[in-house]
Structure formats: C-alpha cells, structure tokens
Structure 1
C-alpha cells in the first residue's frame, strides 16, 4: 500500500483524496478506503463481473483487471432479498429481548440492493503493507441463504481485538447471491450447470482472495473460513466440494450453528423453479431459463417474493446437484471426501427454540407426530415417532430451553419440539461431522450456554454476541486464525475433540469456560441422525 501513497503524492490534486484515507493498488486500479480507529476499511470491492444481463443465472465470472480509481469507502449493494428482519416473523413477543440485542449488535444497514452485488469488504490493521503476511479470516454471511450480507457485520471489531491481542488479522466479508438468484433448482438449472450459484460465488471470492490479498498485506496460505448459520453450512460445503481438494483456497474453518445436512436434489425442488416461471411472463416459454435471464429485474424480484417467507425457506436452498455437491454430504463425509484442514464447530444450547416458535399451533402429541411425519422427517413411520417420543418426552423440564424446569412452556409441546428440532438440525449434524473428521485433522467443539433469554434460552446465533462483543470466544477465534489452534495460552485449555475423548468447551451463562464431555442426549441424537439420513427434510 506504500505504492498507492506514492502515487497519491504525484497526483494528489487530481484525486482529491483526504490525507488519512488508506489506499491500495490492485492491478492498475486505485482503491480509496476509510480509516476507523486502527483499522483500514476497503468496502464494496467487486470480486466478480456483475451477474446482470446475459450473466444473470450464470456461474460467476472472474473480475476484469482493475483500472482507474475506486471509491471503497461505502458498502456495495446487497444481493436481492426481502429487506426485513427474518427473526421478527416468528415468536413475537417471545423474541423481543433477543431481537433487541440482535439489532443492537447487528443493525440493519442502510444499503441498497441490486443484482450487481458480488462484492466484498476487506478490513486491515492500519499501516499494514505487502509482505507482512497477516493471517486472513473470511466471513460468509448468515441468514438461511435468503437474507443478509457483508454489511450486517462490523469487521473492524474483530481487527481491533486482534490488535489488542497482538495477533493482527485481516477480515474479508463476502456477499453472494441469495434466494432464487443464487439457488435456482430444477432440471433447467441442472442442465445449464447453474445450481448452487451462491456457493459458486463464494468459491470465486476465495479465488479473489488468493489473487489479491497479498496487496493488503495478507497471507494467501493462511485463510480461515468463518460462518454462522447458512455461512457455517457454506463453510462445511466448501470443505466437501471438489472431493475435499481446497485448491489452496483456505487452510482452516470455524463453523457456528450450521452444518451440511441431508439435501433435497435439484429435481426434488423442480416445483420451486416452475412456481417462479409461472409467476412471470415467462409462463409457457419454450426456453424458460433464457426468458428469466431477459426479464426486467422488478418482475423477477416480485415473482420470487410472491411466496411467503416460510415457503421461501424450503424453496431457495442448497440442493444436491451431483456437481458442486457431488453426493449427499453425509456420504462424502463417510467416504473421507472432505478437506483435511483444522476446524472448530460450535452450537448454542437451545438451537431449536427459534424453529419451534413457528409451530406454536401444535399443542398435542398427535400434532407433533404429524409434524414429524410430514415435515420434520417426512416419511417416517408412527413406530419411529413413538421411539422419538420415548427419548424426547413431553415433560417441560426435559425440554428446551434446557435447565429451566417447567418454565417457558409456551404450549404443551413447545419445549419437546424445541429439543427435537435443535438436536435434529444442529447437534446431530455437528456430531456426525466430528465423528467422520476428528481422527484425521485438528478438531475442536464448543457449546454456548451464554445469553439465556426468557422463553428461548441460548437460542441460535447467541454465541455471536460474544464473538462480536468482542469476548473471550473472539480471542479463541483470533488465535485459531493465527495459529490453527484456538488455545491462546491463557485461561482454560481447550482439548481437541476425539471419538474416544469427545471433550468440548462449554461457555456458561456467566461467560466462564468449562470442559465437559460431548455426550448429552446421545441416544436421541443418534436416532434423529439415522432417521434424517434416511428421510431428509
């Protein structure tokens, strides 16, 4: 970045750059960012060609060499989505306390959205120059592949903490295509090779990091993937892509509350493609995909949002396409086709309460049985349900939020459903991932019981309040990004997870750390995982 400073001295009057604005040169392009405290921010940098016009519903294309001057002081556009807080659609008023802290930690940004959204943000310790080779962490945004983007997080928080810890890191935050624009299923998408475009966007962003991060002072050989929720699922799927060959794109992963689950195939969700087409003027077209590419943006956007939010959760998702996702994730794991890099996985204690708040109309055991057979594990038998009920009773004291006795039983089935959903969608997937990787690479696991809210407990994503606090978990992340080990020489030792010694770090509600065996609800979790593999949701 010193080269950029020299260039400014020669052309300062023409560029009208504030004296303290950080700069970096990429190819022949000059990027002007912001300095915030001790962090240089370079925002909204395009990492691929805009996926508009003929590039709509195409694989991401590498960005052309940069030329000229770029304003990197403002976030780029978000990818097309419904600009609402997705959490607010369920469980009000039970989520109000959680939502208040969520919105305070991750305020909704005042950022436009458009198809031209393949951009990323780079947060660098001020004064970093090429050759310093700082480790890099790449944040993959969360929110169910439907909402959110890079501008929802403040990467400066992580960089500033790393400087305080004397372990400076660079953070890169990536936007990728969401909803129908990024996850179009169906035979037409398969034939065109455009399934799972959002994941392909992420891969392209990682290639960009390899090409350009040295110009920011980063080390392309030390790149850690980091995500929560759909960002964590993404990190896991990147580990499973390409037979586990990372192509040198990343060297570690940190995954929170999201893991590759058994998937629907591209053909299972053919109806999603058909609904989209039939909601536009492309209905009846002989080449519906090409017609969709040529539609006015607003028409396509409104057709995408015509489905209710809950329907979109099930329709615009990662699919088994036998291409980017070559086989079911669980098959790939059992075959060892996974990147052999060190990783950390974590869950919160009460992962399932958020999902159960969408099911408060279920008040009887028969209702729960119907839900499991039709939606939770579609196709299971009543005999399977009875086995689940034996292990997950309707006693509120045994349900989630755990450790709260008879409190918070919003309905007679709420706490049971919360326990089942949390174990089915999170804890069983986490343990399955560990069981098929921990013997081959460094693996650490944690359980967060911190931030116990009324009614929902340590709900999904509450561990991010520690991470972006920042807190002690942030320090562990920074050490992991720097050394490949989350132990930083202070506090309790965090042992690796192994099949014979499945020790994990527990973050208690008072923020203290303990080490405990990862064996809770083992019989129920094993049953749910076996059924989930046979009957994917």
Structure 2
C-alpha cells in the first residue's frame, strides 16, 4: 500500500440555484501583498519569489459544523477585520485507512486558494483554471507547495489557478434516506459547485475572467469534472466553458438504497440511533468511527472476514444533482456541451497494490471492490486478462499485471473512452481531444508500474510536484523535454479551449477525437495514433457491462 500512499500524494495538489452574475470589488495594494475586499471579508495575500500573488486559506463557505454536517454548504460568514491569506486552510478529514497518513486536518475545511500574476488588475480578465483534487472520495492530503504558482509562472502569467478543499468520506458522501429528508446528499459535489459559484462572484477581483473558467481534475477529481458536465442533466447555467479530465476515476454511482448500509454501520459504530445524534457528535468521536468498511455482497464467505475495498465512498444517484445515472445522462445528450480534453496513462491500475497469486485471487480482488461483478463477467475478465508472462516483475506477485490491467482499463481507461465517444458524437458535437500518456520513468518501469495513474500531472504543474515511491523523477532528467510539450497543450486548452493554439514548437497537431484515435504523449515520440484493436475489444466488454457496474 506504500505505492497507493505515493499516488495519493500526487493527487493533492451547493445549492441548486443559479450561479450569481459576476460582480467586481475594489482592490488595493498593501505593504506586504495585495489586499482584496470581497464584501464578506477583506483578505491580505502575499507575493512569492516567482512574482505570483498567493491568496491562501480564504473561506468560500461557512464552516460545515454541527447542524451543517451533512448539509449543502452555506455562504461564508462575514469578517470584521482584515484576514491574512498567507497559509493554506485546514484540509478536510479523510477516511481512516492504513495507507492514508495522519495529516493535520479539520472538519472546518472549506477553504479556497487563488494564484495570480502580481501584475494583474480587475480589468485583466485572465482565463481561470479551477483545479479539483483527487483522493477517491475518501482522502485529502496537504497541498503541494508552489506547484500552482510554478504553473502560472510557466504560462508567462497568462492564467489564474484556483484550488480548494471539499468534503470527502462520510462528511461529503454519506447517503441515506434520513439524510435526504433532513440534509443534503452528495455534499462533496455541492461543495465543488459552491467553489464554482465563488469563482463566478469573486474571480474578477483577482484579475480573472468569470466567463472563461476551465475545470481541471485528476483521478476522482477528473471523474468529478465529468460529473459536473452531467450535473442537473446538463441544464444551464454552466459556471465553466471547458473541461480537462486526466486519469479520471470512474467508480460506481449507486442509488441511495444501495448505500444505506454505510449510514447504518456508522450509527452502530458511534452508538447513535438517528441523524441528529450523528450531527451532535464531536468531530473527534465521529472521526474515530470513520473507517473503511466492506460492501455487503451475496457472494461473500460467511466463514471469513470480508475484504475491505480500496475506496469506500462515492457520489450517489440523488434525483437532483444526478436525476439519472451519469452515463445515462451522457447517453441521452443531457450534459454541458463544452470542449473536453481527457485521457489516461498507459498503466492506470498498477499503483493500487492489486497483488494476486492466482486468477482466483484476481476475481476476489475485483469483486471486493465491485460486488456487482457477476460470475460470468469475472470469467470473461479472466479470459481477457490472463497470466502475463511478459510482465512479470520481482517486486510483484504473478497475477499483479493481470489484476492491474483489468482494474485500470475497467475503471479508468475504458470509461473515459466511452465518455469521449458520447460527447464527441452528441448532437452538438462538442470538440474532444483524447490522449494516452506514455512517458516511461525508469524507476517506475523497473518497479513494474509502467506509466502509473496520474503520472502526467507532474508535467502539467511542473517537475518536482509528484512523488515516485522509488525515488526517481525523470522529468528533471531524461524526460525533461516532454514537460514543455505537455504544458503547451494543457495551457493552450485553458487559454483558448483548443490544445493547439500555443502548443510547444515542434510538437504535433493534436487532432480532435474521431472515435478511436488519440494523441500518444511520449518523450521524443509524441504522435497521433489509432487505438490497438485488442484494447478496443476489451473496452467493448467493459462498455457492455457498464449498466451492471453502475459506472
């Protein structure tokens, strides 16, 4: 699981009403940074060594405590004096799991950060990228220092970066009819919507253009980007004009009744009998019961302890944010038709520690995480992902490669392909650009990881902001030349909703997705390529069981 901890470190980096019209507030310079009056509070930021103004730890919502636990975020409270905005706010509480380190965190965690060139004014109207962190709906880790500032600097001060915290685990995604009756479902997603609304109201004060906001996320954050495309069946207003979903995690989205067990388990663990008791618990008592629990499964062995899935919380079909299952909304064209850039690494599943010594253990691992898998589907998976003699590695068990390939394609790569086809093939033909990331860090390859989940994000933000469990980062060495190529494509999309306008000199044109083609991003070998037919066949299998998996 140390590999999963490494992965999680790389991932850090509402109401149902309409988005408010953009408003402008006065700005003034202070002796040690920029002071900005947002109406409800006046924040004093600072300027770092890169010439970037940082406004850290600003509140975008009220503390979600006590009676606001399990409720949509409320407007931030008024502050009566100038508030220093020179340090990140507390991160949100994570589910207690062995691979999640103990980090300073708080239930009072709804903070937002803005990184902007020091030369901007409210009239600058720079494009804005709103970054949604990953963490698989269970975890939050500390912010990586200076990565967002470096990205603004690398882009010649032509954009603004916004990052924020949102609730995860039971704080953000506990589902029950009791919560529907006296609270709100999917409050982690509603937090994200609240942050988008905050950007619409206030980003002009920082020199940003509220009419040009691009959502960007990785892993579950990439999945959330796709969720916001389908939110409220795609009905406007849309507080964004484009979307980037990297290595998106496409987990099962279940009806509330199928997740009721998590609520009942939490009541039992806290000796509570109802929702009001859960709300009254001190954070310390609630967090002590915030542990990972197995999914109920009719196929479990009653004579053995049930296995714990890798990730245990996810959004639910609530009838409002998701009036139907997200994939159904995409199939029906009920989504925001905006330009979309998405893609995956070559080996999405290797980072998750899926060690197996036999095909039977592979079946067990997959069913632990997705109890919906039938015996027939598992048998077909065994045929599609047999023992792989060519991929054996001394660091891993014999069926590690098979389990990792099945998990990576089934829950990352193939669902992303499905979304790309649905968006590009919709009536509006929203432009889509798809990629396969194949930058092979020598330490990753030697460790049997290939090109692991989210490996592209270190190049997006700039070298030094991802963690390699084996102590290497080739972006500072052999793969240094790929960094400006990646940043050129991503920054072009943020600025112009097309990855080609400001792409790096000498990099190929990234053609729009046409059904089975993508840009292979590779050091000294970036090119357009058609997908391998064998992979396409495997994706057709996963596409065929999407409904059964509730993806």
TM range (shorter): 0.7 to 0.9
Following superposition of structure 1 onto structure 2, how do residues 503-514 of structure 1 map, counting pairs within 5 Å?
503-508=517-522, 510=523, 512-514=525-527
> Among 350, 371, 381, which residue is 2:375 paired with?
381
- Hey, what does 2:361 align to over in structure 1? 367
> Among 423, 435, 452, which residue is 1:459 paired with?
452
What is the rounded CA distance, in whole Å, between the counterparts of 1:261 and 1:124 in structure 2? 34
Establish whether residue 125 from structure 1 lines up as the match of residue 138 from structure 2: no
> Among 289, 308, 324, which residue is 1:327 paired with?
324
- Hey, what does 1:99 align to over in structure 2? none
> Among 322, 338, 343, which residue is 1:341 paired with?
338
What is the rounded CA distance, in whole Å, between the counterparts of 1:320 and 1:266 in structure 2? 6
Report the 3-state secondary structure (helix = DSSP H, G, I; strand = E; otherwise coil) of the residue aligned with 1:304.
coil
- CA drift at 1:375: 4.5
TM-score normalised over the length of structure 2: 0.82
CA contact (8 A) 2:292 2:312 kept: no
CA contact (8 A) 1:49 1:62 kept: yes
What is the rounded CA distance, in whole Å, between the counterparts of 1:139 and 1:423 in structure 2? 24
Following superposition of structure 1 onto structure 2, how do residues 267-346 of structure 1 map, counting pairs within 5 Å?
267-282=257-272, 285=273, 288-305=274-291, 311=308, 313-346=310-343
Establish whether residue 78 from structure 1 lines up as the match of residue 91 from structure 2: yes
- CA drift at 1:2: 11
- CA drift at 1:381: 2.9
Higher helix fraction: Structure 1 or Structure 2?
1
Query: 1:425-463: per-residue Cα shift (whole Å, max 9, x none)?
Result: 111101110110013211001111114412111111111
Following superposition of structure 1 onto structure 2, how do residues 343-492 of structure 1 map, counting pairs within 5 Å?
343-355=340-352, 357-358=353-354, 360=355, 362-372=356-366, 375-376=369-370, 378-382=372-376, 384-397=377-390, 405-407=391-393, 410-439=396-425, 440-452=429-441, 453=444, 454-470=447-463, 471=483, 472-487=485-500, 488-489=502-503, 490=505, 491-492=507-508
Aligned length: 484
Establish whether residue 531 from structure 1 lines up as the match of residue 545 from structure 2: yes
What is the rounded CA distance, in whole Å, between the counterparts of 2:339 and 2:172 in structure 1? 28
Which ranges of structure 2 fall in alignment gaps of 5 or more residues?
1-23, 296-306, 464-482
> Among 35, 41, 45, which residue is 1:29 paired with?
41
TM-score normalised over the length of structure 1: 0.84
What is the rounded CA distance, in whole Å, between the counterparts of 2:93 and 2:186 in structure 1? 16
- Hey, what does 1:197 align to over in structure 2? 187
Establish whether residue 240 from structure 1 lines up as the match of residue 230 from structure 2: yes
Change (3 A) 1:170 1:246: farther
- CA drift at 1:373: 5.4
CA contact (8 A) 2:186 2:316 kept: yes
Query: 1:315-359: per-residue Cα shift (whole Å, max 9, x none)?
Result: 32212222212211111110011110001101110001123x23x
Following superposition of structure 1 onto structure 2, how do residues 115-264 of structure 1 map, counting pairs within 5 Å?
115-148=107-140, 151-152=143-144, 154-163=147-156, 168-264=158-254
Following superposition of structure 1 onto structure 2, how do residues 68-107 of structure 1 map, counting pairs within 5 Å?
68-81=81-94, 86=99
Change (3 A) 1:149 1:206: farther
Establish whether residue 5 from structure 1 lines up as the match of residue 28 from structure 2: yes
- CA drift at 1:533: 2.1
Change (3 A) 1:275 1:365: same
Change (3 A) 1:373 1:276: closer
What is the rounded CA distance, in whole Å, between the counterparts of 1:83 and 1:160 in structure 2? 36
- Hey, what does 1:97 align to over in structure 2? none
What is the rounded CA distance, in whole Å, between the counterparts of 1:189 and 1:28 in structure 2? 30
What is the rounded CA distance, in whole Å, between the counterparts of 1:394 and 1:409 in structure 2? 16
Query: 1:128-168: per-residue Cα shift (whole Å, max 9, x none)?
Result: 110110000001111111222572363101111111xxx61
CA contact (8 A) 2:294 2:312 kept: no
What is the rounded CA distance, in whole Å, between the counterparts of 1:462 and 1:85 in structure 2? 23
- With 325-334 and 27-36 compared, the bigger mean Cα shift is at 27-36
CA contact (8 A) 1:424 1:532 kept: no
- CA drift at 1:364: 1.8
Please report the RMSD computed on the Cα atoms of aligned residues, expressed in angstroms.
2.6
What is the rounded CA distance, in whole Å, between the counterparts of 1:28 and 1:81 in structure 2? 29
CA contact (8 A) 1:27 1:66 kept: no
What is the rounded CA distance, in whole Å, between the counterparts of 2:211 and 2:110 in structure 1? 23
- CA drift at 1:5: 3.0
- CA drift at 1:307: 5.0
Change (3 A) 1:308 1:331: closer
- Hey, what does 1:101 align to over in structure 2? none
CA contact (8 A) 2:293 2:312 kept: no
Query: 1:237-256: per-residue Cα shift (whole Å, max 9, x none)?
Result: 11110111341311111111
CA contact (8 A) 1:239 1:246 kept: no
